[in-house]
Amino acid sequence: MNTPRHLAIIMDGNGRWAQSRGMARVKGHERGAETVRTITTFCANHPHIERLTLYAFSTENWKRPKLEVEFLMKLLERWLKNELEVYLAHDVRFEAIGDLSRFSPQLQRTIREVEEATSPCKGLVQSLALNYGSRDEVVRALRRMVERHDPIDEAHLLQALDVAMEVDLLIRTGGDQRLSNFMLLQAAYAELFFTPTLWPDFSTDELQSILTSFETVERRFGGI
C-alpha cells in the first residue's frame, strides 16, 4: 500500500467558482483561502503526510489584471496573520517557496515572521508556493550551485531546489490537465490526479477518496 509523504496541490478554479455565482473573481480567492485551511488541517491530522505543497501564485500570475494581483497580495498578508494561530494549534510549520524578492517588503516581513513563529512546529510542513515557477526555481538552484561550487549531479540539484522532497501525489483541481510550471522536477514520479471540482468546493471527502485510489496504484519507478 502506498502512503503519501509529500502531497502537492495546484489549487485552481477560484475565479470560475465566483463567476459562476455572479460574483467578482476575487470572492473566489477568499473562499479558496478557507479551503486551504480545511485541507491543511486534514493533512496535519493524517498519519503519513509530512509535507503539503500548495500552488498559490505562479511566476506567470503577474500577467493578471493589476487589481486582481493587488487583491491577492492583500489577501495573502491578511490571511497569513490570521492563520498563525491555526498553524500553531495544529503544530504546522509554514514555509514559503518561490522567489519572494518580488513581493513588497511588508509582505516579505510577514512571511518571515510566520515562518519564524512556526519554526518549532514538528508536525506537517505546509509549503506555500508564492511567485513560484519550476523553471525559475531551477535557474535559482543552478545559481546557488555555482556560487557554492557544488558538484553537478542529481542529488546536489535536488538539494538546491526550493523543495528537495519528491512529490508522491499531485492533485490539480479546476478541470485542466496541465502542470502550469509546478514541481516539474520533484513530480518526476508523482501520481497525478485531476478533478473538475473547483478549488473552493474541494473537500476533505474528495481528498480522502483520492488518497484511497493512490494507496492501490502500482508505483514502479521504472522497474518491473
Active site residues: 12, 61
Q: What DSSP character marks residue 3?
A: -
CB of 68 to Mg ion, least distance (A): 11
Which residue, 53 or 58, is less far from ligand IPE as judged by CB? 58
Distance CA 90, CA 78 (A): 19
- Report the site for ligand IPE in 7-26 (rule: CB under 6 A): 10-16
Listed in sequence order, the residues at least 6 apart from 18 whose beta carbon sits closer than 8 Å to its beta carbon are 24, 25, 26, 27, 28, 29, 31
- CB 19 to ligand IPE: min, Å: 7
- Helix, coil or strand: residue 71: helix
Who contacts 63 (Cβ-Cβ below 8 Å, separation ≥6)?
A: none
Helix runs in 122-195, H state only: 134-148, 154-160
What radius of gyration do the chain's Cα atoms show? Answer: 17
Per CB under 6 A, the segment of 41-49, 118-126, 171-179, 209-217 that binds ligand IPE is 171-179
- 14 touches which of Mg ion, ligand IPE, none (CB within 5 to 8 A by kind)? ligand IPE
Q: Which of residues 4-33 bind Mg ion (CB under 5 A)?
A: 12
Half-sphere exposure of 75 (CA within 13 A, CB side): 20
Look up residue 189 and give its three cell numbers.
514520479
Whole-number minimum distance, CB 47 to ligand IPE, in Å?
A: 27
Q: Which residue in the set 42, 57, 71, 202 belongs to the binding site for ligand IPE (CB under 6 A)? A: 57
Euclidean distance between CA atoms 25 and 43, whole angstroms: 27
In the bound complex, which residue of the shown chain has the CB atom lying closest to ligand IPE?
15
Q: Is 1 helix (H, G, I), strand (E, B) or coil?
A: coil
CB of 65 to Mg ion, least distance (A): 14
Q: Which is nearer to Mg ion, 92 or 171 (CB)?
A: 171
Q: Which of 33, 56, 190, 207 binds ligand IPE (CB under 6 A)?
A: 56
| 178 interacts with ligand IPE by CB under 6 A | yes
Binding-site ranges for ligand IPE (CB under 6 A) = 10-16, 55-58, 61, 72, 174, 176, 178, 180
Binding-site ranges for Mg ion (CB under 5 A) = 12
